[in-house]
């Protein structure tokens, strides 16, 4: 599939029902807790893209410490591209979200956050050199102390945005991963929906996009796809039809990224492209830095000297 989405939730939150509804998988659906003992995968077809959904065994308060089914569900979530927090809207929904956030973070999974823009290039000698030291909120001595605690004694550190000591510590912690996440709201009637959305917005701000599972099948699939931050790009050759199967790339990808996905040598020789879809007029010539949008059609043009390797 183009991406893997982990369905993470409390016992009986509706994970199996979501998987059954969106894929051909037939998970065991029960009224008792921990019906799902092992991860259950299923493939969701949305238009011309396949997305793998994985139902993760239930997460409870203390899972990261071994309670319930232990840390196994959290390790499955860690390996997914995106995490869907499956929340039962009929009972204590804010508490459910808080428990899932806490357990995932205890397992080293940061939701809808990104590491600070800084790089650490280790060197053999030369001590610690800092570029952009003024961006660190703590002073250069504190910065060097943190680096040395992580056994970094010779390095070039480049800081490109304001960074706190805690953020620096986290950026050096190789056990942390950063995952995009959204909320799938189950068991919610249409009369309560607006109230539940407002409650989540009040408690968590705009941190999580919320999707109501009561939406029709294709509408629900579209909402999930749009939360993956992916775009579909169709390549074509001059005077030929577009490819039937798209390249699936991260949102914000450029013409150069498309060329790189085709072949790294081709990308090096890329001169320009013609794009249908997001441009002002069909087939408009654009530079390699042009940012593409979902469903754009791209015709790549390399230098005349380029000869594909066989």
Angle (deg, nearest 10), helices 193-204 and 93-106: 40
Is 53 inside a domain boundary?
yes
CATH number at residue 73: 3.40.50.300
Give the whole-angstrom CA distance, residue 258 versus residue 236.
11
Pair (194, 242) in one structural domain:
no
Is residue 294 domain-shared with residue 262, that is, in the same domain?
Answer: yes
- What gap in Å lies between CA 102 and CA 98, rounded to an integer? 6
**Lookup: tokens for 23:** 């894929």
**Alpha-carbon distances of 268 from 179, 247, 275, 292, rounded to whole Å:** 31, 19, 19, 19
Domain extent, residue 245, equals 230-302
The answer on 102 and 63 residing in a single domain is yes
Q: Are residues 251 and 279 in the same domain?
A: yes
Considering the domain architecture, whether residues 222 and 252 belong to the same structural domain is answered as: no
Q: Can you give the pLDDT of all 310 residues of the chain as single tens digits? A: 899 999 999 999 999 989 988 998 776 665 555 556 688 999 999 999 999 999 999 999 999 998 887 788 999 999 999 999 999 999 999 999 999 999 999 999 999 998 888 889 999 999 988 898 888 888 888 888 999 999 999 999 999 999 999 989 888 888 899 999 999 999 887 778 889 999 999 999 889 999 998 765 788 999 999 999 999 999 999 888 999 999 999 999 999 999 999 888 888 889 899 999 999 999 999 999 999 999 999 999 987 655 555 4
240 and 283 in a single domain? The answer is yes
Residue 216 makes CB contacts below 8 A (sequence gap 6+) with none
Report whether 132 contacts 120 (CB < 8 A).
Answer: no
Listed in sequence order, the residues at least 6 apart from 117 whose beta carbon sits closer than 8 Å to its beta carbon are 159, 160, 161
Tally Cβ neighbours within 10 Å of residue 190: 8
Both 66 and 189 in one domain: the answer is yes
Q: Is residue 220 part of a domain?
A: yes
72 and 10 inside one domain? yes
Whether residues 80 and 122 fall in one domain: no
What's the structural domain count of the chain? 3
Task: Tell me: do 23 and 65 sit in the same domain.
Answer: yes
Rounded Cα–Cα distance for residues 179 and 3 (Å)? 12
143 touches 120 (CB < 8 A) = no
pTM above 0.75, yes or no: yes
In this structure, are 8 and 85 located in the same domain?
yes
Tokens of 166: 């805690």
């Amino acid at each position: 599939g183009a991406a893997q989405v982990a369905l993470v939730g409390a016992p009986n939150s509706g994970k199996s029902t979501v998987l059954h509804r969106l894929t051909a998988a037939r998970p065991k659906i029960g009224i008792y807790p921990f019906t799902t003992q092992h991860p259950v995968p299923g493939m969701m077809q949305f238009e011309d893209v396949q997305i793998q959904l994985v139902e993760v065994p239930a997460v409870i308060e203390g899972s990261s410490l071994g309670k319930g089914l232990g840390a196994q569900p959290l390790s499955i979530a860690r390996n997914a591209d995106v995490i869907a927090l499956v929340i039962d809207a009929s009972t204590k929904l804010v508490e459910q979200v808080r428990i899932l956030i806490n357990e995932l973070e205890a397992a080293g999974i940061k939701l809808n956050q990104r590491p600070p823009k800084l790089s650490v290039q280790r060197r053999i000698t030369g001590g610690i050199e800092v570029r952009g030291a003024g961006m660190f909120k703590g002073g250069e001595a504190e910065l060097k102390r943190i680096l040395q605690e992580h056994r970094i004694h010779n390095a070039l550190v480049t800081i490109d945005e304001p960074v706190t000591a805690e953020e620096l510590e986290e950026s050096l912690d190789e056990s942390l991963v950063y995952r995009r996440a959204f909320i799938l709201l189950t068991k919610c009637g249409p009369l309560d929906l607006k109230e539940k959305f407002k409650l989540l917005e009040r408690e968590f701000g705009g941190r999580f996009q919320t999707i109501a599972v009561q939406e029709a099948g294709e509408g629900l699939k579209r909402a999930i796809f749009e939360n993956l931050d992916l775009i579909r790009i169709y390549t074509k050759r001059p005077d030929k039809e577009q490819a039937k199967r798209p390249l699936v790339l991260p949102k914000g990808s450029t013409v150069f990224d498309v060329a790189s996905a085709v072949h790294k040598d081709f990308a090096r020789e890329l001169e320009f492209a013609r794009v249908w879809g997001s441009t002002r007029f069909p087939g408009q010539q654009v530079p390699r830095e042009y940012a593409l949008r979902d469903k754009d059609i791209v015709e790549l043009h390399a230098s005349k000297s380029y000869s594909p390797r066989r």
